[in-house]
Amino acid sequence: MAEDREATRGQDADFNTLNQPLDRSPTRLQYDPERFGRLSERVARYIGSWSFIAWMTAVILVWVLYNVFAPEEWKADPYPFLFMVLLLSLQASYAAPLILLAQNRQSDRDRVQYTEDRDRADRLLADTEYLMREIAALRTALGEVATRDFVRSELRDLLQDIEDDRDAGADVGDSTEQSGSSGPRSPRRTGRPPGRNQP
């Protein structure tokens, strides 16, 4: 009974993965390209440094001096140093693809950075154009609105007119008082009898 349940559960698991194609390819060596790319960049960065050049120069000098001045039976690679040439060729054959891989990754990063910069520049240009249109609309709207200086000048002119009217009224009042003090005021002649009420 338990075996039947396990078989049914296995069949259910197979049915659950029917939405994915069956992998019939032979087993391949799996590797993480991101990790390998980071390793290649690290190696390429070290190969392009002065420390690598100094270490390689020191190793080659020691190798050459040992194989020149050592006794004949102790020489591992006598002149013309074929084993050293083989090692250097092997190192160069591995270094060149690693450097190219690092350059490809850098060019991919530069391409992505260029795309992001271009998109950012397009957004900034669109924002700038929008702000310029808004500022132009605000200037047009403000052209029809009274500004502070205009209101201040109008109030100043109005105050000046009021002061002029008040000064003119004071001058008229003074002349009236002076004429009233000189003699009795005569009644105004209107052409109607003085006792009749005016409508």
Range of the domain at 85: 31-143
How many distinct structural domains can be found in the chain?
A: 1
Inside any domain, residue 156: no
Comparison of pLDDT for 95 and 9, the residue scoring more: 95
pLDDT value at position 193?
Answer: 45
Comparison of pLDDT for 145 and 37, the residue scoring more: 37
**54-110 pLDDT, tens digit each:** 999 999 999 989 888 888 888 888 888 888 889 999 988 888 888 888 888 888 888
**105-134 pLDDT, tens digit each:** 888 888 999 999 999 999 999 999 999 999
Average pLDDT of the chain to the nearest whole number: 77
Comparison of pLDDT for 71 and 191, the residue scoring more: 71
How far apart are the C-alpha atoms of 140 and 169, rounded to whole Å?
44
Inside any domain, residue 44: yes
Q: Identify the weakest region by mean pLDDT among 53-57, 87-91, 145-149, 178-182.
A: 178-182
Percent of the chain with pLDDT over 90: 18
198 has pLDDT over 50: no
Inside any domain, residue 199: no
Inside any domain, residue 99: yes
How far apart are the C-alpha atoms of 112 and 105, rounded to whole Å?
11
At 175, is the pLDDT very low, low, confident or very high (cuts 50, 70, 90)? low
pLDDT value at position 123?
Answer: 94
- DSSP character string of 8-68: HHHHHHHHHTTTS----SPP-----HHHHHHHHHHHHHHHTSHHHHHHHHHHHHHHHHHHH
Comparison of pLDDT for 32 and 1, the residue scoring more: 32
The values of phi and psi at residue 129, to 5°, are -65, -40
At 146, is the pLDDT very low, low, confident or very high (cuts 50, 70, 90)? low
Comparison of pLDDT for 196 and 43, the residue scoring more: 43
How far apart are the C-alpha atoms of 41 and 43, rounded to whole Å?
5
